[in-house]
Structure 1
Amino acid sequence: MSGGLRRYEFSEKLAEMLGESRRDLRFRVTMMVSAGVVKPGPRGRGSPLATPAYGSNLLVGAMAAPQQVHTIEAIRCYWELEPAAIASEMTTPGIILGLSTEHTKIDISTTLPIPFTRLRFGECLTQLLELASSKSTCGGLASELFGIWVSRGYPVAGLQIGVWSKGRRSVITQRFELSEGERPPSWLDPSRNGIADPGLLHTVFLPASKLIEIGMLTTSEKKKNPMLNLGPKIAKFTDLVNLVRQGRYRIQWEKLLLTLIEVQTWANKVGTQDSRLVEITDFGSNPGNLRMFTYVPGHLLPAAPLVVALHGCTQTAAAYDLGTGWSELADRFGFALLLPQQHWTNNPLRCFNWFRPEDTVRDSGEPSSIRQMIEWMSVNHDLDRRCVYVTGLSSGAAMTSVMLAAYPDVFAGGAIVSGVPYHSANGLQEAFESIFMGVCRSGSDWGDRIRAASSHQGPWPGVSVWHGDEDTSVAPVNAEESIKQWADVHGLPLNPSIENEIDGYPHRVWQGPRGENLLESYTIVGMSHGQPLDMSGGEYSCGTVGPFFNDVGISSTYRIAEFWNLPETLSKRQSRTKSQEVTIMGQTGERTFNVVPVLNPTPSDTNTSSEQTNIVEEVSADSAGVEGGNPKSGGIPLGIDVQKIITKSFEMAGLLKQSEDNPTGSGSVGKSAPLGIDIQGIISESLKAAGVLAESSSKTPPSESLSPETGQVGESVWQGEGWELISNRSGRAQGEPLLFGYASSGNDCEVGNKIRSISREVSLGDHPTLSYIRRLKLNAAANDHTRARFSVLVDDLAVDEVSAVGMEHTEGEWMQRSGIDLTPFANRTVKLTFQVAAHSNVCNEVFAKAWVDRIHVRDVS
């Protein structure tokens, strides 16, 4: 289809593509010119060229305005829609009780050079049409963009983008909504004769293929500087070849690129399969713009080791894991696995940038991102910081050399598979020389480069070096140079301590003064570039054969794990865990009797480490807390007199007779028991033993009752807005008010996110837990994108939450939440916050109401 149409021709063609009448589009263009949205110009065939900006204005007007008369207001309203965060909130109607598994930020990074999260909807649409107008960039757009949609019933628009997440290709939506203080367009504003609930007004969807066709009809104002799009599938390898066609290493480079096509094709197939990996998106500032994938076995032992595995060029974390079999060994040996993944935007071949100065030094670029990932894994999975290892293939092996040099204090060992020494190149041209020819230096020169990379003085990580002697992608001499480098760092001679054969291949070992293996080398005779595998099905077998994963009868993955003593480490940890098992069980049993009891306990209620939800049988918020007893009494769980209820039951059954001296029926005095058996005493003791009735206040766990009205804890009081204290309730003990919070959006067309919070400071002990009771009414049923939420936060981090999108959620009875673990905040003073939030995009009310009572922080140790 030819491009470069003029405005007149463009509007005619657009009408045909959208299924609209030509007259309709002409009228909208006339309105755009009259309102100054676009500059005037000659009409007909002499009109100016249609630019992407012109096309996006007309497209928004046609998609968003339900009638012609609304065209200009639709353009001005929808063009200015601001990007909404696609992170902790649901994107489809539903209710989530408790913290969502999607509470972490979603990674929207793509190869498209558009900062979606920083641009308004109209700006994003213009840039998409810019990409579509160029043949060199429309291919990448077709593979990344799924489509765009605009709702006429409420001012919300979306870009649907294809991304990789957890080993699957899926579509996520970058929403755009009204900014704070803006009003909906006139047809949705009752104050301007609009209708807040327009009924049949619908959402208009434009698929990516249609958008690209429209973009190809426009003429970019940037045509003089077309952008080379290498694309996520590396479709234009010839363009890359041309970058070095006149270079010294042309033949090697072209051969490598052809091989990488096969690797990329295989990696794409792997990407369509189910992956065992989980992606983590919020692990730090990520200065290197890398992606983080992890695998943690279900049986992970305390203080387990961590293996960091770095993929090669054009590979993915999932493809590298499948090829090497590292997650298989993680299941067998009980270690955690971290697999960083490169972005295409960082490197068009998705190689780690081991040759760029900013990505080869400590606390900078890609090494810093990987270091942040390691820290996240260590903290969140309680790993042994003394047992962190790193390995990689090809460019991942080169980055392994970087990590071992930049962070020798972090790693206990490393393995370089078909890689190069640290600091063998400074820039792209030197990188070509290093991989294709190899750079030879003295051992001391190589060693000085590592010693200069950090202030570390030793001990140094042990290193395993692997290389095929027929590797034409990375010269085999690089393995010998890596050996020289690490032998010098360890102060070892070049002659090995041991020379033998393992699985038929030459194996060399350099040992320290105490006989420990500090450095080893495998030369895989006859093997080209790649990772050695043993697929015989024996004990050492793991991984999958594919491009750069070679079945040569020796498992590099298993042998590297063996070099790091991971099998032996597993055995020691299992033995230590078994020896501690009896003590741990004893502590758990003792702790169970100290838990503040809950109503109608289930077997899971005795586990103090898990959150619990129980229904507290009270009728309404106005009668909350009316129990005929002190709710804070140590002997009355949740304010309910268990003894009194049972006594009344026995009286009604005729098993107990009420004495005239005690007509109230309270207590045990005055009760005539059959056969002189103290039934109440037996029941009381049974309840105490079961943990349903606390023996005395002195035997309950340390507890801080956070009364809303008084500052009982650290003299701190509740502070915030949108919340109030309800204290004058029938039958309620004085000084026992409850908290009531109310957030509303959409009233009087005041749309947007409305948040109301109340907070106070709380000092926590060694093993703190939180409990409270609540009633909620969340009304978010205005449309698919209206939201209401209730959250409990500690130092602004959510620990409990209920979310509603496009639906209503009402808790008709008081719900108890108990055993909420606050251990991550132990031994410090924190800010405890209760929060309600509502978000409406139309002139209909969306609200969140919450009643909160009996807030307790306990130390369960």
Structure 2
Amino acid sequence: MMKSPLLDSMQEAFKLVKAGQLGEATATIQRALGGKASAKDDTIIEGEVLHKTHTQAPPQQPATPTLTPSTEPKHGANKLNHLFKTFAKTSTVTPQPIPNNAQFITKTFSNQYGSRDYKLYIPSTYGSKPVPLVIMLHGCTQSSDDFANGTQMNALAEQHQVLIAYPEQSAQANAQRCWSWFKPQDQTHNQGEPSIIAGITQAIMSEYQVDKKRVYIAGLSAGGAMSAIMAALYPDLYSAVGIHSGLAFGSAHDLPSALMAMNLGAKPIHKPNQFVPLIIFQGDLDKTVSLRNAETLFEQAKTLYQQRDEYFELTTQDYHPSNSHAYTRTVLKNSKERHELEYWTIHGAGHAWSGGDRSGSYTDPKGPNASWEMLRFFLHHTL
């Protein structure tokens, strides 16, 4: 991990959180950003990730119902992930080329709680037939183009005729462009940012040929935490959810509690009322979002599923592919062998999208491929 003053400040803030000095932790972060210290500030910072410097072949996939794309998403140029020089603005990212007749367009949605831009990928094969829709929520300091490049979801969408939307947090709403997963209003149905993200989803469903029973949502870190919120608040809208390096619904209610949850895990103050099929990815060396948060997500979802009083089978298996990180996968499947819950612990991985492309930030190209596995999981689920 590359050292920097900001990372040093984050580590110092986490030590203060452990010591119970929450106000001092907040002040430390604000000083690192060059701003005034305030316990009321909304800023949450995600750690830096150094991209790997080697090219990696597509990882070996476990013997489960899988997608079989004709080609794996290709890695971009081999380059190191640079540290963001300014955190008030997102670095300019060039979208990757798209096939002829495909579109990657910018649109805007507004309601009483604000306005957000979003990018929408429309595959070249899109026509009159209803297709699935996936909503992708980026992490802090990222943009829609950055997240699209890093996850390579557009390439998979092209192969499997899926619409992909990337809502983009604004710097006006949060200087770090973090989704406000830790604010009470933004954990409430039909209020704040959840209402905007749901509004974007519904606007696309109204304007395009979308299979309303096959709408999904996924995110990384702050975007993963917001995806958990969206699944909890809108279980009748999303058929399944993917959370990479995120936190459970109700894990925090302000900045200090968010810092504590990120570093130490949290006992959620709110819980979903309805089970939504879930796939979780988490690196066990993540220094930004503790592994305990993924464990909480899994246990919360498993408890909700058990309340259905349905048959299920729970299995855990370790995998050691020669061309990717080793990982442990826990699967809960129903009587029809369909996977309702998957939890992937990536051994040796940090705070990065597993199997992502180097052209995006917060990615670990070594894999396994979280994008591939999430889409495979999603397409097995309908409302």
**Aligned-residue offset at 1:243:** 5.0
| Counterpart position of 1:405 | 232
Task: Give TM-score scaled by structure 1 length.
Answer: 0.33
| Counterpart position of 2:47 | 256
Distance 1:421 1:461, change over 3 A: same
Percent of aligned pairs sharing the same letter: 25
Task: Provide the rounded CA distance (Å) in 2 between the counterparts of 1:491 and 1:326.
Answer: 32
**Aligned-residue offset at 1:289:** 2.8
Distance 1:397 1:240, change over 3 A: farther
**Aligned-residue offset at 1:513:** 3.8
**Aligned-residue offset at 1:327:** 0.7
Selected match of 1:373 from 194, 200, 203: 200
Distance 1:440 1:335, change over 3 A: same
Distance 1:258 1:273, change over 3 A: closer
| Counterpart position of 1:481 | 296
The superposition leaves residues 776-813 of structure 1 with CA deviations (integer Å, 9 ceiling, x where unpaired) of xxxxxxxxxxxxxxxxxxxxxxxxxxxxxxxxxxxxxx
Tell whether 2:82 aligns with 1:285: no
Give the secondary-structure state (helix, strand or coil) at the position aligned to 1:256: coil
| Counterpart position of 1:491 | 306
Distance 1:238 1:264, change over 3 A: closer
CA contact (8 A) 1:291 1:340 kept: yes
Task: Provide the rounded CA distance (Å) in 1 between the counterparts of 2:49 and 2:354.
Answer: 21
- The within-5 A match list for 1:692-841 is none
Task: Provide the rounded CA distance (Å) in 2 between the counterparts of 1:363 and 1:406.
Answer: 8
The superposition leaves residues 92-114 of structure 1 with CA deviations (integer Å, 9 ceiling, x where unpaired) of xxxxxxxxxxxxxxxxxxxxxxx
- The within-5 A match list for 1:387-406 is 387-406=214-233
Task: Provide the rounded CA distance (Å) in 1 between the counterparts of 2:376 and 2:146.
Answer: 23
- The within-5 A match list for 1:543-562 is 543-544=357-358, 546-562=360-376
CA contact (8 A) 2:142 2:361 kept: no
| Counterpart position of 2:346 | 524
Task: Provide the rounded CA distance (Å) in 1 between the counterparts of 2:93 and 2:217.
Answer: 23
- The within-5 A match list for 1:659-698 is none
Give the residue type in structure 1 aligned to 2:316: E
CA contact (8 A) 2:137 2:219 kept: yes
Task: Provide the rounded CA distance (Å) in 1 between the counterparts of 2:45 and 2:195.
Answer: 32
Task: Provide the rounded CA distance (Å) in 1 between the counterparts of 2:222 and 2:160.
Answer: 27
Give the secondary-structure state (helix, strand or coil) at the position aligned to 1:499: strand
CA contact (8 A) 2:149 2:360 kept: no
Task: Provide the rounded CA distance (Å) in 1 between the counterparts of 2:335 and 2:132.
Answer: 26
Selected match of 1:338 from 162, 165, 173: 165
| Counterpart position of 1:239 | 34
Give the secondary-structure state (helix, strand or coil) at the position aligned to 1:385: strand
- The within-5 A match list for 1:434-473 is 434-440=261-267, 449-451=271-273, 460-473=275-288
| Counterpart position of 2:243 | 416
Distance 1:360 1:470, change over 3 A: same
Q: Can you give the 5+ residue segments of structure 1 that lack an aligned partner in the other structure? A: 1-234, 245-252, 452-457, 535-542, 570-861
Give the residue type in structure 1 aligned to 2:266: V
Give the secondary-structure state (helix, strand or coil) at the position aligned to 1:477: helix
CA contact (8 A) 2:240 2:378 kept: yes
Task: Provide the rounded CA distance (Å) in 1 between the counterparts of 2:240 and 2:220.
Answer: 15
CA contact (8 A) 1:293 1:317 kept: yes
**Aligned-residue offset at 1:348:** 1.2
Distance 1:258 1:506, change over 3 A: closer
| Counterpart position of 1:92 | none
Distance 1:265 1:560, change over 3 A: farther
| Counterpart position of 1:104 | none
**Aligned-residue offset at 1:499:** 1.8
| Counterpart position of 1:299 | 125
| Counterpart position of 1:665 | none
Task: Provide the rounded CA distance (Å) in 1 between the counterparts of 2:159 and 2:49.
Answer: 36
**Aligned-residue offset at 1:388:** 0.3
CA contact (8 A) 1:288 1:368 kept: no
CA contact (8 A) 1:419 1:474 kept: yes
How many matched pairs?
305
**Aligned-residue offset at 1:256:** 3.5
| Counterpart position of 1:150 | none
Distance 1:515 1:358, change over 3 A: same
Give the residue type in structure 2 aligned to 1:508: T
Tell whether 2:260 aligns with 1:433: yes
**Aligned-residue offset at 1:268:** 5.2
Task: Provide the rounded CA distance (Å) in 2 between the counterparts of 1:468 and 1:517.
Answer: 21
Task: Provide the rounded CA distance (Å) in 2 between the counterparts of 1:450 and 1:479.
Answer: 15
Give the residue type in structure 2 aligned to 1:291: D
CA contact (8 A) 2:221 2:289 kept: yes
**Aligned-residue offset at 1:449:** 1.7
- The within-5 A match list for 1:116-155 is none
**Aligned-residue offset at 1:514:** 3.6
**Aligned-residue offset at 1:317:** 0.5
CA contact (8 A) 1:264 1:314 kept: no
The superposition leaves residues 295-335 of structure 1 with CA deviations (integer Å, 9 ceiling, x where unpaired) of 11121151100000000000000000000001111111100
| Counterpart position of 2:141 | 314
Give the residue type in structure 2 aligned to 1:562: R
The superposition leaves residues 244-284 of structure 1 with CA deviations (integer Å, 9 ceiling, x where unpaired) of 7xxxxxxxx89938999825779955524567631112x44
CA contact (8 A) 1:390 1:400 kept: yes
Which one has a bigger Cα radius of gyration?
Answer: 1
Task: Provide the rounded CA distance (Å) in 2 between the counterparts of 1:375 and 1:303.
Answer: 14
Distance 1:390 1:467, change over 3 A: same
Task: Provide the rounded CA distance (Å) in 1 between the counterparts of 2:46 and 2:199.
Answer: 36
| Counterpart position of 2:101 | none
**Aligned-residue offset at 1:412:** 0.7
**Aligned-residue offset at 1:374:** 1.0
Give the secondary-structure state (helix, strand or coil) at the position aligned to 2:224: helix
Task: Provide the rounded CA distance (Å) in 1 between the counterparts of 2:46 and 2:362.
Answer: 14
CA contact (8 A) 1:275 1:318 kept: no
The superposition leaves residues 661-712 of structure 1 with CA deviations (integer Å, 9 ceiling, x where unpaired) of xxxxxxxxxxxxxxxxxxxxxxxxxxxxxxxxxxxxxxxxxxxxxxxxxxxx
- The within-5 A match list for 1:73-92 is none
Give the residue type in structure 1 aligned to 2:277: G
CA contact (8 A) 1:530 1:549 kept: yes
Task: Provide the rounded CA distance (Å) in 2 between the counterparts of 1:557 and 1:240.
Answer: 36
The superposition leaves residues 439-494 of structure 1 with CA deviations (integer Å, 9 ceiling, x where unpaired) of 146xxxx7x6211xxxxxx5x3210011000001011110000001111111179x
Root-mean-square deviation (Å): 3.2
The superposition leaves residues 137-164 of structure 1 with CA deviations (integer Å, 9 ceiling, x where unpaired) of xxxxxxxxxxxxxxxxxxxxxxxxxxxx
